[in-house]
Amino acid sequence: MVQVGIVGATGAVGKELLSVLHDRKFALTSVHLFASERSAGKVVETPYGSLEVKLFSVQAAREMDYVFLAVSGTFALEHAEAIAADGGAVVIDNSSAFRLQENVPLVIPEINGAAIGTRRLIANPNCTTAIAAMALWPLHCHFAIEKMIMSTYQAASGAGIEGMNELLETTKASLDGAAPQHKVFAHPLAFNVIPHVDTFQPNGYTKEEMKVTWETNKIFGETSMKISCTAVRIPILRAHSEAITIQTKRPITPDAARALLEMADGVDVVDDPAALQYPMPLHATAKYNVEVGRLRQSIVFDEHGLDLFVSGDQLLRGAALNAVLIAEFLEQPYPSKFAKVVE
């Protein structure tokens, strides 16, 4: 008997969690939706039928085998450890609350599932980080990435259903000639790009940008990979894209990189510019695999550099799919296909 609980099932990530669990036929016997008093008692239509939302309590959550948290970091900080403690449920937390905590594994199963060990509280990475990491891990293993520069093109879905609705509303208002109202984003997103995702840090980077640095190092088992990211919100609904330049210790070529990426699970190489084939959010949306393409030798770092472009569904690889893959990994562990080449 495998009982699964979801906290935050009516949010953008929560809804995808239900679809992914169902679509991947995760071997569960029952699904339980938990929420605060405000939503408890509501009936939600799910791929598992109509489910009544139950009032969250740590006790009820501890009776589950797996609890997916698709809620705020504040909620996770308050309850996650208590749900998991002393043989409680395995907690897979989508928030950033525990990601950098030393005793909490930060996991992309195809990369570092083995980091979970016997831990029962597991952090799901930031979406921008996870999408890039799928393409970068095989390259890091073989060519040893030393430095990286990334610019992102992030969808409204990163700010949840409210962000997606605000994009639709500001687009409609703009087309109707009205002044677009905005609350979720710092400026109207329709017909705009906003170089500002999450809060500004003392070093001038935003927290989203620093998450890419901090989390990529942790997932890859590194401490000193230098990563500079500029995170930009663009007016699309739900797939993030990233332009990435890497500098590697070992010489790299686009052909060698392509051969590795073609072997990687969770990655589709879409790289035929002559046929107008390259990664795009339009095609990456609602897709499990991350698209990688525009592979080219860097004209800045020469044989030690590669440029690439990735697009991946923010709600799937960036959140719900990765979380379900963590639970699948726990049911049936497997080694990473790639291991770092020792110099």
> CA-based Rg of the chain, rounded to a whole angstrom?
20
Give the closest residue to 31 by CA, choosing from 44, 45, 48: 48
Other CB atoms closer than 10 Å to residue 343's CB: what's the count?
6
Rounded to a whole number of angstroms, the minimum distance from the CB of residue 20 to ligand 11C is: 17
Q: Please name the residues in contact with 239: beta carbons below 8 A apart, sequence gap of 6 or more.
A: 155, 281, 282, 284, 285, 311, 312, 313, 314
Residue placing its CB nearer to ligand 11C in the complex, 20 or 269: 20
Contacts to ligand 11C from residues 161-200, by CB under 6 A? 197
Residue placing its CB nearer to ligand 11C in the complex, 3 or 230: 230
Contacts to ligand 11C from residues 202-231, by CB under 6 A? 208, 211
For the chain, where are the E strands, in sequence order?
Answer: 3-7, 30-35, 43-46, 49-52, 54-55, 66-69, 90-93, 121-123, 145-153, 226-230, 239-248, 267-269, 290-298, 302-313
Rounded to a whole number of angstroms, the minimum distance from the CB of residue 210 to ligand 11C is: 11
| Residue of this chain nearest to ligand 11C (CB atom) | 158
Q: Let me know: does 108 contact 129? Beta carbons within 8 Å.
A: no
Distance CA 203, CA 236 (A): 28
Rounded to a whole number of angstroms, the minimum distance from the CB of residue 154 to ligand 11C is: 4
List 104, 127, 144, 150, residue binding ligand 11C (CB under 6 A): 127
127 is catalytic: yes
Q: Examine residue 154 and tell whether it contacts ligand 11C (CB under 6 A).
A: yes
Residue placing its CB nearer to ligand 11C in the complex, 54 or 196: 196
DSSP-assigned states of every residue in 142-166: HH-EEEEEEEEEB-GGGGHHHHHHH
The span of 64-72, 113-121, 125-133, 292-300 binding ligand 11C (CB under 6 A) equals 125-133
Strands 3-7 and 30-35: parallel
Q: Let me know: does 267 contact 134? Beta carbons within 8 Å.
A: yes
Rounded to a whole number of angstroms, the minimum distance from the CB of residue 127 to ligand 11C is: 4
Number of residues this chain uses to bind ligand 11C (CB under 6 A) = 10
The span of 48-56, 122-130, 166-174, 186-194 binding ligand 11C (CB under 6 A) equals 122-130
Residue placing its CB nearer to ligand 11C in the complex, 3 or 217: 217
Distance CA 77, CA 290 (A): 30
Residue placing its CB nearer to ligand 11C in the complex, 94 or 247: 94
Tell me the C-alpha to C-alpha distance, in Å, between residue 82 and each of 85, 102, 328: 5, 18, 23
List 92, 122, 159, 260, residue binding ligand 11C (CB under 6 A): 159
Burial 86-108 (b: 16+ CB within 10 A, else e): eebbbbbbbbbbbbeeeebbbbb
Q: Let me know: does 133 contact 219? Beta carbons within 8 Å.
A: yes
Rounded to a whole number of angstroms, the minimum distance from the CB of residue 168 to ligand 11C is: 17
Residue placing its CB nearer to ligand 11C in the complex, 208 or 291: 208
How open is the CA angle 61-71-51, to the nearest 5 degrees?
55
240 is catalytic: yes
Q: Let me know: does 268 contact 226? Beta carbons within 8 Å.
A: no
End-to-end CA distance of the chain: 46
Q: Which of 32, 140, 142, 240 is catalytic?
A: 240
Q: Which of 127, 140, 142, 229 is catalytic?
A: 127
Rounded to a whole number of angstroms, the minimum distance from the CB of residue 306 to ligand 11C is: 24
Rounded to a whole number of angstroms, the minimum distance from the CB of residue 146 to ligand 11C is: 25
Q: Examine residue 298 and tell whether it contacts ligand 11C (CB under 6 A).
A: no
Q: Examine residue 158 and tell whether it contacts ligand 11C (CB under 6 A).
A: yes
The span of 25-33, 124-132, 249-257, 275-283 binding ligand 11C (CB under 6 A) equals 124-132
Residues at the interface with ligand 11C (CB under 6 A)? 96, 126-128, 154, 158-159, 197, 208, 211
Which residues have a catalytic role annotated? 127, 240
